[in-house]
A = this chain, B = another copy of it.
Amino acid sequence: MNGAQALIRTLVGAGVEVCFSNPGTSEMHFVAALDAVPDMRGVLCLFEGTATGAADGYGRMTGRPAAVLLHLGPGLGNGLANLHNARRAGSPLVLVVGDHATWHKRFDAPLESDIDALAGSVSGWTRRSLRSADVAADAAEAVAAASAGQVATLILPADVSWTDGAQPAPAIPARPPSPVPGEVLGDVAKALRGGEPALILLGGTAVRRPALEAASRIAAATGARLLAETFPARMERGAGLPAVARLAYLAEMAAPQLAGTRHLILAGARAPVSFFAYPGRPSSLVPDDCQVHVLAAGGDDAPGALIALADLVAADAAPTGAPAQRPAIPDGALTAESASAVIGALLPERAIVSDESNTSGIGLGPATGGAPPHDWLTLTGGAIGQGLPLAAGAAIASPDRPVIALESDGSAMYTISALWTHAREGLDVTTVIFSNRSYAILAMELDRVGAAGTAGDAARSLLDLSRPTLDFTALAAGMGVPATRARTTAKFAAQFEQALAEPGPHLIEAILP
Interface positions of A from 215 to 232, Cβ below 8 Å from B: 231
Interface positions of A from 1 to 23, Cβ below 8 Å from B: 21, 23
Instruction: Tell me which residues across on chain B come within 8 A of A270, comparing CB atoms.
Output: 108
Cα distance, A114 to B284, chains bound together (Å)? 21
Cα distance, A296 to B111, chains bound together (Å)? 22
Interface positions of A from 23 to 55, Cβ below 8 Å from B: 23-26, 28-29, 31-36, 38, 42, 44, 46-47, 49
Instruction: Tell me which residues across on chain B come within 8 A of A410, comparing CB atoms.
Output: 46
CB <8 Å contact, B117 and A121 = yes
CB <8 Å contact, A23 and B442 = yes
Cα distance, A97 to B182, chains bound together (Å)? 46
What sequence of 0s and 1s flags, for each residue 195-216 of chain A, a beta carbon within 8 Å of any chain B beta carbon?
0000000000000000000000
Interface footprint category on A: 35 or more
CB <8 Å contact, B104 and A283 = yes
**What distance in Å separates the Cβ of A258 from its nearest Cβ neighbour in chain B?**
15
Cα distance, A81 to B410, chains bound together (Å)? 21
CB <8 Å contact, B80 and A74 = yes
CB <8 Å contact, B47 and A413 = yes
Instruction: Tell me which residues across on chain B come within 8 A of A449, comparing CB atoms.
Output: 25, 28-29, 158, 162
Choice from B75, B79, B413 contacting A417 with Cβ under 8 Å: B413
Tell yes or no: A62 within 8 A of B by CB: no
Tell yes or no: A109 within 8 A of B by CB: yes
Instruction: Tell me which residues across on chain B come within 8 A of A424, comparing CB atoms.
Output: 467-468
**What distance in Å separates the Cβ of A269 from its nearest Cβ neighbour in chain B?**
12
Interface positions of A from 439 to 495, Cβ below 8 Å from B: 441-442, 445-446, 448-459, 461-465, 467-475, 477-480
Instruction: Tell me which residues across on chain B come within 8 A of A380, comparing CB atoms.
Output: 110
* Identical copies of this chain, number: 2
Interface with B: A125-133, A170-178, A237-245, A272-280, which one?
A272-280
Known: A28-B445, A81-B74, A467-B424. A42 touches B458 (CB 8 A): yes
Choice from B107, B442, B467 contacting A283 with Cβ under 8 Å: B107
Instruction: Tell me which residues across on chain B come within 8 A of A110, comparing CB atoms.
Output: 88, 231, 275, 380-382
Nearest B residue (CB) for A79:
B77
Instruction: Tell me which residues across on chain B come within 8 A of A103, comparing CB atoms.
Output: 277, 283
Nearest B residue (CB) for A44:
B462
Cα distance, A118 to B83, chains bound together (Å)? 14
Interface positions of A from 367 to 417, Cβ below 8 Å from B: 380-383, 385, 410, 413-414, 416-417
Tell yes or no: A113 within 8 A of B by CB: yes
3 closest Cβ pairs, A-B complex:
A468-B480, A77-B80, A474-B478
A-B contact pairs, 25 of them (CB 8 A): A23-B462, A24-B442, A26-B276, A31-B462, A31-B463, A32-B454, A34-B459, A74-B84, A75-B383, A78-B414, A80-B118, A84-B113, A104-B277, A109-B275, A110-B275, A110-B380, A113-B121, A114-B120, A114-B121, A117-B121, A158-B277, A162-B449, A420-B468, A474-B475, A475-B479
